[in-house]
Every structure is written in structure tokens, then in C-alpha cells.
Amino acid sequence: MHGFRTERDSMGELQVPADALYGAQTQRAVQNFQISGRAMPAGFVRALGLVKAAAAVANRDLGLLDGVRAAAIENAARAIANGEHAGAFPVDVYQTGSGTSSNMNANEVIARLASEASGTSCHPNDHVNMGQSSNDVIPTALHVSAALAWHRELRTALDRLHGSLQRRAQEFADVAKTGRTHLMDAMPVTLGQEIGAWAAQIDAARQRLQQSADGLLALAIGGTAVGTGINAHPEFAERVAADLSAQTSLAFCVAPDRFQALSCQDAAVAFSGQLRALAVALMKIANDLRWMNSGPLAGLGEISLPALQPGSSIMPGKVNPVIPEAVTMVCARVMGNDATIGVAGQSGNFQLNVMLPVISETLLESIGLLANGATALATQAVDGFTVNQVQLDGVLARNPILVTALNAVIGYEAGAAIAKKAYAEGRPVLDVAEESCSLSRAELERLLDPRSLTRGGIVGGD
């Protein structure tokens, strides 16, 4: 159907596309906020559907909404929560800071669907929005969508990456290589120890995120306009939280102080901070992989990442570490998003934060990017890289820093002289040490064995 129909709101009449499920208030927002061309993310819209469905159930059970309307509203809202009618939510992210336009968008779409399905007039404000305000619905949907994205997307991806790193660490537990500090040769480590450190980073980030995500379970619902709960039944909020918990298997609850829940987004800011910390960890891991893969001739050449695509439009045969590079860009974006959320979190003036839509969009983008980036790193880089054993062994044999193991036997100064000579002549430190001290070759081989050195402790004579 083409053309327009006439809709009316408190500001008067307005032309709305004839086939649009939304009404006048959404149309005004579409006209007013032509800024980014980006609508609110699907995860947020689905969470909004969950909130509206839970509200209808609560109002029905409290005797405030008749059964026919309640059922129709619930069904329409759950359809939205399931991803249906996604095209009916066109309001730009950069809209009124409370997200009122998105709340009314949901109210109007649900009211129209419910009215058509039930044959009963369902009003966007009087029925769908009963006991609610944009000021408590939008921060509630923000928390619900972020909590769901964490539990269903990012945590799963981190579990996958952590498991992959642990498996490779065990696989290479006995593969010795040159350690590096300041990007310079250092005492040996095993490849398993190096990868195990990455696994520990991911595990620590995962634990911090889980702790922070618990703050997202406290909901603003029931605070209505300013936190007092005006126009909401005293039991409404608890019932909504209970329904959301039942539908999602997450332990949602009503925020202990609803004034705080409306006026600030500290929980979202804190969670974003932990997403940034994860991005820092992923960037370190991705860059280590790039360094280890570098070459293959003029770089370190310790590992070979899976060859996924040609690396140059002009240099035949070149293959680049594309997945680690993509992940570093993800990390850069997430770090920038955290700055946005930090600024937005400061915009809680008196009883309401007025940057809720951008907080929600940015938070969900960070979660999604990190989830996809971690999955790609696991499946397309960590799982499939191979070790260049000849390169590892050759560099390790020539590493003059191995002489550190002789400190307790011959002293620091004598060891430094051996290291300098070995480096200057490009010879194995074992050969130079045999010429320069009284220890037998057999004893030197024992003291300088790289795999023994990866176990630490004081090295000395019998």
C-alpha cells in the first residue's frame, strides 16, 4: 500500500505512511531526527518488547487491564521481542535523550497490532504504556538488552576463545622459545607459557565482566517519571521484573533506589569500562600474534597464521595477518565507545540521564564487536596457527641472554663478557662459554638447557 493516512496526537494531525504500524508521535520523531540514518539496535528493540509484554501481564494480574487487551498487547510485544516487525522501528539513535520517541514508537506499534488482532481499541498511552514512563522503560530496556547480549553473545564467545587458548597452551607446553622484554631477546619461555598468559588474561576479563554485568540486573522500572512511581501500582515493578526473569532466565530485580536508577547510568558505565579492559587484552593478544607471525623471512617467523586471503593487490604471494588486524580495529572502536559512554553517563541532570539512546546503542555495539572479534580470533587464528620449530630452535640456540643461567656459577661480569662475544660473533652461547670458562661442555649443556630454564629457580652446580 502506498500513500498516507491521517493520524492525530496531542499536537494535532499528521500524515503517516499508510502501511506504517506506528502513529503520529513516531512520525514526528522520524521527521525531526534525520541525523545518523541509524535506528535503535535490534537488541534494544527486542528488549523493549520484553518489557512491554511483562508490563501487560503485570497490569492484567493486578486487575488494571482487561484480559482481552492484555493478551493482545502481550502477544504483540512478544512478537517484537522475537524480532518480528523490525522495520516498524525507524527512529534515529540521536533523538530525545530520554528515548521517549523509541518508547512511543513501541507503544504505537504494539497498540496497532493489538487492536487489529483483538478487535478492541488499544491505546498507546492508556493501555500499552500503563504504569510506565519513558524515563523508566528506556533505562530498563537498556539494562535488559545489555545483560542479554553479555550472557548470550559475549560470554559464549569468551568461553570459546579461552578454551581455544588453553588447548594450544597445553599442546605447546614443552616448546621452548626466546622470551622477549622491551621487544628484545630475554630468557626462554615455553610457547605454552606464553599462550597460557593470554588465556589467563581472557579468564580475568571474563570474571570482571561477569561481576560488572550483575549491576545491569537492577532495573529502573516502577520509577515512572522521576523515581516516585507516580501512576504505577505498588506491586507493578516487582511483577515486571519477575516476568522478565522468567522469560530470560536472568535474575532481574527492581533497583533498590529508583531515583538513582533513573538519574544515572553508572552500571552501564562500569560495564563499558570492563569491555574496554577486555579490548586492551584482545589487542595485546592480537598484536603478539602479528609479531610472532611476522616475516616470513625478515620478521620473527615463529608461527604461521592460517592463510585466509591474498594480502596485496600488487605483491603476488603476500599473505597478511588479517584476523588479528581486524580484531585490533574492533578494540580501537570499543575503546572509543567507552569514552562516548563515559561522557553520556555524566549527562544525568537531576532526575534523568538524557543520553540513554546513545548509551544503549554504543554499549550493544561494543558487546557485539567483541563477541564477533573474539570468535574470529579463536576460530580463524588461534585454532589454526602452526609453529615454525626450526626457527624457534635456531634463534634460541644463538640467544646470548641464556648466559644469565651461569650468573650463580661464574658471576655477572664473566657472563656479560660471554654474552657480548657470542652476540658479536653470531655464535651459540654454549660454544663461547666452553672457550671462556672452566666448566665442562656437559655441565654447560645442563646449565644452559632452554627447557630447564623455562622452569625458573636458581641454576648452579651440583
Show the DSSP H helices in 62-190 as ranges: 67-81, 100-118, 134-149, 155-171
Give CA–CA dist 7/134, Å, rounded: 21
Show the cell assigned to 399: 640467544
Describe the crossing of helices 191-213 and 155-171 by its angle, rounded to 10 degrees.
160
151 is an active site residue: no
Query: Catalytic annotation on 182?
Result: yes
121, 123, 145, 182: which one is catalytic? 182
CB 186 within 8 A of CB 179: yes
- One DSSP character per residue, 320-333 reads --HHHHHHHHHHHH
C-alpha cell recorded at residue 353: 540521564
Grid coordinates belonging to 273: 569500562
> Under a CB-based contact definition with an 8 Å cutoff, are residues 156 and 170 in contact?
no
Phi-psi region of 222 (alpha: psi -120 to 50; beta: other; left: phi over 0): left
DSSP characters over 386-432: EE-HHHHHHHHHT-GGGGGGGHHHH-HHHHHHHHHHHHHHT--HHHH
Contacts of 90 (CB under 8 A, 6+ apart): 22, 26, 30, 39, 105
Catalytic residue among 36, 121, 312, 440: 312
**Per-residue cell: 425:** 660473533
What does the alpha-carbon distance between residue 387 and residue 172 come to, in Å, rounded to a whole number?
9
Nearest-10 Cα torsion for 90, 92, 97, 103: 10
How would you class 87 by CB atoms within 10 Å of its CB: exposed for 0-12, middle for 13-18, buried for 19 or more? exposed
| Active site (catalytic) residues | 182, 312
